[in-house]
Structure 1
C-alpha cells in the first residue's frame, strides 16, 4: 500500500509543480537528462553486472519484440478498415508498439517486485525495448515516411545512448565474472537511488489531459491497443501458451501495458509521422497506463 501511495504522491507532486508560477516549464527535460546520463547508467552497471543469467530471463528480453511485431500487424490490418493514412498508421505502430520501460517501468517494477524486478527491468529495457526502438522502430518509421533506413545511423543512435552503453559494458563485466568492490557498488547504488522519485515526478510534470484529445479516433484506437490488447497478447503467450505462471511473466504483462516510450515518439515526430498524435500517445497514455497496469497487476494476483 505504501508503494502505491508513493507512486501517486510523486505524480501529484509533479502535477502541482506544473501549476506553480516561477517553476521552470521545461523542468521535466532537466530531470529526464539527469536520469538518462546519471541514474540509469549507474543502475544498469550495478544490476546487469551482477545478474546470473537464467533461461527464463529470455521472457523480459523477448517481450518488447513480440509487442512491436504485434503492433505492426495490428495496425497494418486495421488501418484500411478505419481509413488511417500512412502517417497515422506509422505513428500508432511505433508509439503503441514500444513501452516506456525505463522512465515508467523501472519505478513500477521496483515498487511491485522489489530489487529483482528492477534488475529484470534493466534487462527488458536495454536488451529489449531500446534495441527494438533503435532498429525495428527506425525501420518502421522509414517505411511509413518513405525514407531510407540507415544502419550506420541506427548503430550511432544505440551506442550514443548512455544506458545502452553502460549495459554493454556491464554485460562484458558479467561475462568476465568481474564484481564491483563493495564501496563501488554502494556509490553506484546511491547515484542511481533518486531514479524512482525523479522519474515519477517527471511523468507528473508532463501530465496534461485535454477534453478534445479523447474525441480523436486514432488516439482512442492506439490507447486501446497499448493499454489492453498489448498486455493481453503477452498474457496469452506467456501464461496460457507457455504456461509460465511466474512473477517474471506477470512483470512482462505489466510492462507490455505501460505507456509509450518517449524515444519512440521522438522517432515518429522526426519522421513526420502525425506528430500531434505521437505526442498525445505519450502525454495521455503514460498517466492512464499507471491506472491500467495496477488493474492488470491486481488481476494477475
Structure 2
C-alpha cells in the first residue's frame, strides 16, 4: 500500500505542478476538463464494458449496493446532526455534509485498489460506483444541495437524466452480455484492455489538476475536522459493521470498504457551484481529506 500511495502521490503532484507551470499556456482547469471528458465519455465506458462483461454479477452486486448506499445515508445523518448541533450556516452545512458523505470511489478508489489488490478489484470499484455512489450522488446529493442551497433556475427535464450517460449505457450493455453468456471477441477484449489501462493514470493526474492549496481558507478550517473524522475514520469503521451484517467475504469485503474510505469526491464542487453552497469550503475539504488519506488509507488497509 505504501508503494502504491507513493506512486499515486507523485502522479498527483505532477498534476499540481501543471497547475503552477501551465505548459504551452494550457490552464489546469482547461486541461482537466479535456482529460476528464475523454475518460468519462470514452475510456471509462470501455473499462465498464470490459469489467462487467466478465464479472460475477448477482447477490454480491446487491450487497455492494447496500453497503455503499447505507454507508452514505448514515454519513449524511451524522454530518447533518453535527451541522445542526454546531449551528452551521446553511451554505456551509450543505457543503460539509456533501464532503463528509460522498467518497471519491472511482477517480481515486480505482487506481488505489487496482494497485493494492490487483485487476480483479476494478469490478468492485465499478459496481460500488454504478450501483451505489453515483445513484446516491444524483438523487440524495442533489436533494441535499437543493435543500441547503438555492434551486437552479433551469430545472432538468428528468430526475433520471443522469442515467443517460456513457458509463451507464456501457454497464447496461455489459450486464446484458454477461447474463446471456456472450463471449467477447479476442480483438475486442484486447482493445478494451488497452483502453482500460489508460483510465487510472489519467484519473490520478486529473485529481492533481483539481487540487489547489490556494482553495484552503483559514475561515473554512473550523468546518473541516467533522468532515475528516466522518469521512476518513467513522465512515470506513461503520462500513466494516455493515459489511459483516451483509456477510461480504474477503477479499471483496476489504476492497469494498477501502473504496468507501476514500476522501471526498471532486464532483461535489459542481453541486456546490450549481446550488450556491460554499464552494471554497468544499474545495478545502477535498484538498485536506485527499492529503490526509495518504495516512488513513494505509491504516485501513492494515486493519482490513
Give the TM-score of the pair, scaled to structure 2.
Answer: 0.88
| TM-aligned CA distance change 1:243 to 1:163, over 3 Å | closer
Verify: 1:154 aligned to 2:159, yes or no: yes
CA distance in structure 2 between the aligned counterparts of 1:35 and 1:80, rounded to whole angstroms: 38
C-alpha displacement of 1:2: 4.9
Verify: 1:178 aligned to 2:182, yes or no: yes
The residue aligned with 1:291 is: 295
| TM-aligned CA distance change 1:290 to 1:21, over 3 Å | same
Verify: 1:41 aligned to 2:42, yes or no: no
Q: Secondary structure at the match of 1:102?
A: coil
Q: Map 1:128-207 to 2 at 5 A.
A: 128-145=132-149, 147=151, 152-159=157-164, 161-207=165-211
C-alpha displacement of 1:51: 1.2
C-alpha displacement of 1:214: 8.2
Q: Is the 8 A contact 1:269 1:278 kept in 2?
A: no
The residue aligned with 2:11 is: 10
C-alpha displacement of 1:65: 0.8
Q: Secondary structure at the match of 2:158?
A: helix
CA RMSD in angstroms comes to 2.5
| TM-aligned CA distance change 1:62 to 1:288, over 3 Å | same
Aligned length: 298
**Does 210-219 or 180-189 show the bigger shift?**
210-219
CA distance in structure 2 between the aligned counterparts of 1:215 and 1:139, rounded to whole angstroms: 23
| TM-aligned CA distance change 1:230 to 1:214, over 3 Å | farther
Unmatched segments (≥5 aa) in structure 1: none
Out of 243, 259, 275, the position equivalent to 1:238 is 243
Aligned structure 1 segments of 4 or more residues deviating by more than 6 angstroms: 148-151
| TM-aligned CA distance change 1:232 to 1:48, over 3 Å | same
Give the TM-score of the pair, scaled to structure 1.
Answer: 0.89
Unmatched segments (≥5 aa) in structure 2: none
The residue aligned with 2:87 is: 83
CA distance in structure 1 between the aligned counterparts of 2:217 and 2:157, rounded to whole angstroms: 40
Q: Secondary structure at the match of 2:21?
A: coil
Q: For 1:84-136, what per-residue CA distance to the aligned partner results, in whole angstroms no more than 9, with x for missing partners?
A: 12222222222321111111111111111111101111111111111111111
C-alpha displacement of 1:147: 4.1
